[in-house]
Structure 1
Amino acid sequence: MLKTKRHSAVVKMLLFVFLIGTSNTLFANGETPNLSVVKENDSTFAIGFEYKEEMDVKITIKDAFDFTLFKEDAKNVKQINKTFDLKGLPDGKYFLEVENKMNVYSQTIEIKNDKIQYTEDGVTKINKPVSFVKNDTLYVSGDLENDVDVQITIHDKLGEVVHKETTSSKSILNKRFKFIDGRPTDYNVSVTYSDRTFKL
């Protein structure tokens, strides 16, 4: 375990050094585009996507121990095209994640004998839930794409749990909550599904 962490510390530096730059061959159109990942050679891959409006985007690469090897927070961008060199990483699985305000895209990348490998089966997309208040009612909704168990937790201003429920969602999540005090904006909501918790 300690050996893995030492490797990761070195890799973090390598990734920053070998963030090569831009690529004109990769992009995806649309409001919420699919992540494009293209292998360029044995140790490098490029990612790219394009939005219709500016967004904040977070890019991370982690190892199998959930140790962050690379992280970048890009502010107010419409397009990102980057190439990464993973040369020097030990064999194993790594996880590329691209997150914006609406979605989280993830790609599993495996290194074997100093060569990167990945398949379309290793790509996942999670749509983030949203919440809003209308007519003194709190609404929680989301397009989950798959049937999943969803846990909704509501906290008051002091952080105390005032409501908690788990439901099986049939792709579309639609919940509404009324409060006795009539002040739905005084409460915070978190939604957990697909092993992720989103604070709304």
Structure 2
Amino acid sequence: MRTVFKNFLVLAVMLGTFTSFANEMLEVTPTFNYVTKGNHISVSDAFGEVIYSGEINYSGNLTTLFDFTQLKNGKYDVEVTNGFRIDISTIEVKNNIVFVTDANRKTIFKPVVRNENNSVLISKLALDGEKMDVELFYEGELIYTETIDGEDVLNRVYKLDKTLKGSYTTVIKSNDRVFVKNFRI
């Protein structure tokens, strides 16, 4: 009789546990809203005017760290820059309620420019196949230009003349942005 009672008690506890978990709603926090300390944030309105720009001081969910409810009704672009990656999300504010729009989410990768052994190495990931313009300047004078179209990955090595020591500048235009890197040899 004791074993039957113990088995019945165990069954009741298990059934109660399972039914309590069945009614529980799990809240999922989207990871694209997660930002880390040290990242840079920029908020611009529908006209492209930058409303806020600054460094993120704490890690956490973007919508809890920043109070977007105080913005006027409308759509805003939020750019979070993390190293060589720029994540762009669109938020919409309606009557002090913030909605994150996934449809307009975009990621842009910044180019990486290195100077090694009188050579310039340029790498850029362009998963959208966006056209890229590369310009190389020596002492402010254009010495090389190239337009790359339809490539997902830009990998270029440009050999520089050892005798031309001075300041160089690379200008890469892509995704309606201009990336500039200055260096000396």
Distance 1:184 1:177, change over 3 A: farther
2:145 maps to amino acid: K
Are 2:131 and 2:148, in contact at CA under 8 Å, matched by a contact in 1? yes
Match of 2:157 among 145, 164, 176: 176
Larger RCO of the pair (alpha carbons < 8 Å, separation 6+) = 1
Match of 2:67 among 79, 85, 90: 85
Shift of 1:27: 8.1
Aligned length: 152
Shift of 1:69: 1.7
CA distance in 1, matches of 2:82, 2:114: 19
Match of 1:70 among 31, 52, 55: 52
Larger radius of gyration between Structure 1 and Structure 2 = 2
Pairs within 5 Å for 1:10-89 = 28=31, 36-37=32-33, 48-50=34-36, 56-74=38-56, 79-82=59-62, 83=64, 84-89=66-71
Structure having the higher helix fraction is: 2
The Cα offsets for residues 17-63 of structure 1, whole Å up to 9 and x where unpaired, read as xxxxxxxx8685xxxxxxx22xxxxxxxxxx235xxxx742111111
Shift of 1:125: 0.6
Provide structure 1 residue ranges, at least 5 long, that are not aligned to the other structure: 1-24, 29-35, 38-47
Structure having the higher strand fraction is: 1
Provide TM-score, normalisation by structure 2.
Answer: 0.69
Provide structure 2 residue ranges, at least 5 long, that are not aligned to the other structure: 1-27
CA distance in 1, matches of 2:166, 2:158: 11
Equivalence for 2:9: none
Shift of 1:66: 1.9
